[in-house]
A and B are shown apart, each in its own frame.
Chain A
Amino acid sequence: MILSKFFLLIGVALFLFLKVLESKDLEMWISSFQDQVYYEKMAALYGESRKKDFNLSVSAYGFREMPDKLGVALRTGQGIPDLVQLDETFFGVFLNGPSPFLNLRDRAKNANLLEDLHPRRLEVFTFKDELLGLPQSLSAMMLYYRKDLFDEFGIEAEDIETWEGFRKVGQKLMEDRGQRMLALDGTLFDVFLRQRGSDLFGKKGNFLPDEKKALSILTEFAEMSQAQIAVMPDRGSVFDPVFFSGDLESGEVLCVIGADWYGLDLFPQFAPGMSGMWGMMPLPAWKNENGSLGPRTATFAGQGLLICKASEQKEEAWEFIEFVMSNKEANAERFLQGNSFPAYQPAWKDPRLLGEHQYFRQSMGKLLVELAKEIPPVRVDPRRPQAIFLMQENYFGAVMSGILTPLEAMEQYREAMQTGWGNVR
């Protein structure tokens, strides 16, 4: 009798234990409130396609808040999620020490994702030969321009092929009509560096490997800024909602530089009344020393999906990621919901991605597919996020407004990177 009660008790305990294990949700943290709807939909689609009960708990935080929370969780070891959606800008922050993310290389290889995802975007989440995340967006930068005002002022977008040409058009516009051409942002420094064939870090991890190019970029745009061809928004950011309602809607500038997610998400959200007024074109190229033209794009930011090493449901997390990355509907939905243009190349044939965009009345997909071949590489370094933010917040605006010379800014930039990183390493 006692023995049977004992076995019954063991059986109940085992059942409860298995039930607890079975019902444990996969926990995902994302850094965009808009994406919550998307992931919940994808979880339902994944559950349906695999014919199983799949529970995904999605916690959405702000762009900067999510890395903050993830940092605290990783530092304390408490409440680490199974998978995270992290912007590549913050990826480097977590590479300081042993990687908290799972190496996905073998899994991605078996799922053919190493071939199907754009190679340049895969590099963005690769560190020390470990593929620590899968990129979701192409994030190729384009020039968004005011179609209506270009027509009014007689400017042909196709004629602007180089930054030199862009400057000439801007100069004429300023002289003739007192109209500014371009909105600047501190994050563009890193973009222009890569567009010119350099980067923030060299192969050996040396900071600003080509200072000459860095100086010439700052000088070029500082001159444009002094001549009022280009202008810094009030808080130095083109991601600010007030920039859209103020500078853009009042026609203060004719062009803004942004990636696919910038046009898909921010324009319709912050300037809904300007639908049909904006067009898209490749970035003007830089002239190489031999006179040839460089790439007409470079990438900036963009989300990736990563699995935390602390997760107890790594396989489940991987299967979901694989589904989101390679499923046709999942990729189309990401574009149609206004998140981003996928880095998954087989999806680029989908007519839904290549059709005319409702807001821009032009095909964004076709332009991005054309530019994808020209994307220059990004060198990942744990110090990269700090280098981007330092330039954006401290030096770019100071140079553009003439408070610092490009040379002074470069010296201070180097010094600040040295101090911020400490002399320990």
Chain B
Amino acid sequence: MVSRRLSISSNSLIVLLGPFVGFWLFFWMMPLIFGVDLSMRSDLLVEKSLKVRSVHAEVSDGAYVGFDNYRKAYRDEKFWRSLKNSIQYVLGTVLLTLPLALALAIRLIGLPRKAQGLLLFLLMIPGLAMPSVLSTLFYLFFHGREGFLNQYLILPLGLEPVNWMMDPSFIMPCMIFQSVWRWTGLVTLFFLCGLEGIPRWQLEVAKMEGLGGWSKLRILWMPGIGHLILFAAIFLTVDGFASFSGAYVLLGGSGGILDSGLLFVTYLYQVAFPGGSGRFDFPTATAMSLMVMPFLATLLYGILRIRRHRLGK
């Protein structure tokens, strides 16, 4: 009887997990294996695919070059620069968005339903729009002389207009600002949902005890939505590292002056595709992606450790 139950449960496990495992193998493992293979090949075009006979003695079909592409990537300063920029971008976005969204959610929870809904909707508009559309808006916002920021803030103060997107010290803050603007509304919604779940009696007790704002935040709000903060942090981190279209529109496909806004995915695009920056080096771009994988895996593991630690508590 027990063995039959086990068999049924293992069968249903296979049925339930089968599609996931299948997709995982097909869409994740196979590309990864092909990616590893590609990362060890020459960036020269291959005769077989061109259907031509080789005139280059040094190139043969699918020429393997060992770890040359990894070495090339390791020596590439722009690769490290793009990684550093992406980390800055992610940290800036996460560290600004989370407190801002939490503060907004706490303010919103005390408002009447109708006002709350309207304000939340307004806050969420940037998150619902396409990144390229947002970047175009932001581009007009940051435009050198005619932009909104210069016209209504800098020039009225009697200052010289700032060319935001041409000044290396402003490019990254502008990009972070764009990301914060985009995601704050959506993250506020998550936090608001979490705050709504905190039992009302706890709030009443806090009120009776005369808890101040900081104490309420520490004892009530934060523990109540800790899991949502973690989720939002993971979401923003993943989005930040994969960010491409926003930066592409804002900086026209380049990394900006002195590569100040060169994000990791933008650089991969530049290396891999002819239209990126006149290079056409898929293998090295693949090697770069694979080099970053252990770092991202460690980061994810770290975040999950925090979660386990919290659950343990």
Contact = CB atoms under 8 A, between A and B. Distances in A.
Interface of A: 63-68, 70-71, 74-78, 80, 89-90, 92-94, 96-100, 232-237, 240, 242, 246, 250, 252, 309-310, 384-390, 392-394, 397-398, 401, 403-404, 416, 419-420, 422-424
Nearest to A383: B278
Contact of B275 (A65, A387, A393, A419): A65
A100 B51 CA distance: 9
B49 A77 contact: yes
Q: In this complex, which of A234, A236, A240, A392 has the most chain B Cβ atoms within 10 angstroms of its Cβ?
A: A234
A235 B77 contact: no
A388 B179 CA distance: 30
A390 B144 CA distance: 23
B237 interface: no
Contacts of B278: 89-90, 92-93, 384-390
Contacts of B276: 64, 68
The 9 A-B residue pairs with the shortest CB-CB distance, nearest first, are A385-B278, A77-B49, A64-B275, A97-B44, A393-B254, A67-B274, A386-B278, A97-B45, A93-B274
Contact of A398 (B47, B143, B257): B257
14 contacts: A64-B273, A90-B274, A94-B274, A98-B50, A234-B144, A246-B145, A252-B145, A385-B278, A389-B277, A401-B167, A403-B258, A419-B78, A422-B284, A424-B65
Contact of A416 (B44, B50, B78, B252): B78
Interface string B201-245: 000000000000000000000000000000000000000000000
Contacts, number: 158
Contacts of B139: 234-235, 242
Nearest to A102: B52
A77 B275 contact: no
Interface residues of B, number: 51
B36 interface: no
A75 B46 contact: yes
B56 A97 contact: yes
Nearest to A86: B274
A232 to B, nearest CB: 6
Interface in B117-169: 139-140, 143-146, 163, 165-168
B75 to A, nearest CB: 6
Nearest to A89: B278
A69 to B, nearest CB: 9
Contact of B45 (A63, A100, A386, A420): A100
Given A92-B278, A100-B45, A246-B146, A393 B255 contact: yes
Contacts of A401: 163, 166-167, 257
A187 B51 CA distance: 35
Given A67-B273, A419-B76, 17 more contacts: A63-B275, A71-B280, A77-B46, A80-B50, A90-B275, A94-B280, A96-B45, A100-B50, A234-B144, A236-B254, A242-B140, A310-B50, A385-B274, A393-B253, A393-B254, A394-B254, A404-B258
A119 B112 CA distance: 76
Contacts of A67: 273-275
B307 to A, nearest CB: 39
A387 B258 CA distance: 15
B253 A64 contact: yes
Contacts of B280: 71, 93-94, 96
Contacts of A424: 65, 68, 72
Contacts of A232: 166
